[in-house]
Copies of this chain bind each other. A is one copy, B any other.
Amino acid sequence: MGAVKSKRVPRAIREQQMLDAAVLTFARRGYAAASMDEIAEVAGVSKPLVYLYLNSKEDLFSAVIRRESEALVAAVTAAVEPGATADRQLWSGLRGFFAHTAEYPDGWAVLHQQARTHGEPFAREVAVVRAEVVAFVTELIGAAAKEAGCAGELAEREVAGLAHALVGAAESLAGWANVRTDEGPSGEREHPSAKDTAATMMNFVWAGLGRLMEGERWAPGGLIGQQGRSAAVRG
């Protein structure tokens, strides 16, 4: 009974297995080099079945991007503490982001490294999701500026720029923190915990934004408002 019945896996589950195999293969080989043969083999199904269910490599890749980006956005959204102060919302969102990307490094590699190739149809999908994240962060920074009573001082364009910088920093940090190591057990590299990575990010980002909110700025002579250590050393 078991041997025969075990082949009758429902389509929905089979599709998820194929997508799992595709994520792994795309992350390791890249889009161009990934073959449907390998994806079918990793999924433990026949190649015709992959084509039957998911149509083409391009459609399969699109399905992967959609599933992985929805999962990432859902993880971050669920992590954000609603109604908290802006810095706590950012902190909880970043913890969700780094925890999810640490748990699914292959999914992150596909979204971050594979899917952004300009001009391909799937680049647009990733760009749309990224734009949503940037819009959320822009709102958060705007809210923080309001909380700090400096909404007028930070121009709208600068807030948008800061949001792009923040998102880029988080992406880069996630890529570094979760990089695949092929060094084996003797290798020294250990992954920092998602919480440590989020803390590094908050130290980097918020201490800086916090100063900005208080009206401090960096200028070529140093931080304005501080005694000019930099300016003194420079002369």
A contact residues vs B (CB 8 Å cutoff): 27-34, 84-85, 87-88, 91, 109, 113-114, 116-120, 123, 147, 157-158, 160-162, 164-173, 175-177, 192, 197, 199-212, 216-218, 220, 222-223, 226, 229-230, 233-234
In the complex, how many angstroms separate the beta carbon of A155 from the nearest chain B beta carbon? 10
Asked whether, in the complex, the Cβ of A217 is within 8 Å of the Cβ of B212, the reply is no
Interface centre among A29, A161, A201 (most CB of B within 10 A): A161
A176 to B209, CA, bound (A): 19
Distance in angstroms between the alpha carbons of A233 and B148 in the assembled complex:
12
Q: Can you list 12 A-B contacts with CB-CB less than 8 angstroms, sorted by A residue number?
A: A30-B118, A85-B229, A113-B123, A114-B117, A157-B192, A160-B176, A165-B170, A169-B172, A207-B216, A207-B223, A210-B211, A210-B226
Residue pair A113, B114 in contact (C-beta under 8 Å)? no
Quick one: which of B87, B118, B161, B211 contacts A200, CB cutoff 8 A? B161
| One of B29, B166, B202, B218 near A203 (C-beta < 8 A) | B218
Which of A147, A160, A171: most chain B Cβ within 10 A?
A171
**Docked CA distance A102–B210 (Å):** 29
Q: Is the CB of B218 within 8 A of A87?
A: yes
Which residues from chain B contact A31 at a C-beta distance below 8 Å?
117, 119
Alpha-carbon distance between A204 and B31 when the two chains are bound, in angstroms = 35
Which residue, A88, A204, A211, A217, has most C-beta atoms of chain B within 10 A?
Answer: A204
Contact of A234 among B28, B85, B177, B197 (CB under 8 A): B85
Determine if B119 and A30 form an interchain contact, defined as CB atoms under 8 angstroms apart.
yes
Contacts A84-B234, A85-B233, A167-B172; is A218 near B192 (CB within 8 Å)?
no
Contact of A207 among B167, B212, B230 (CB under 8 A): B212
Contact of A164 among B113, B176, B216 (CB under 8 A): B176
Decide: B200 and A204 in contact? CB cutoff 8 A: no
Report the minimum CB–CB distance from A188 to chain B (whole Å). 11
Q: Are B165 and A173 in contact, CB atoms less than 8 angstroms apart?
A: yes
**A118 B113 Cβ-Cβ under 8 A:** yes
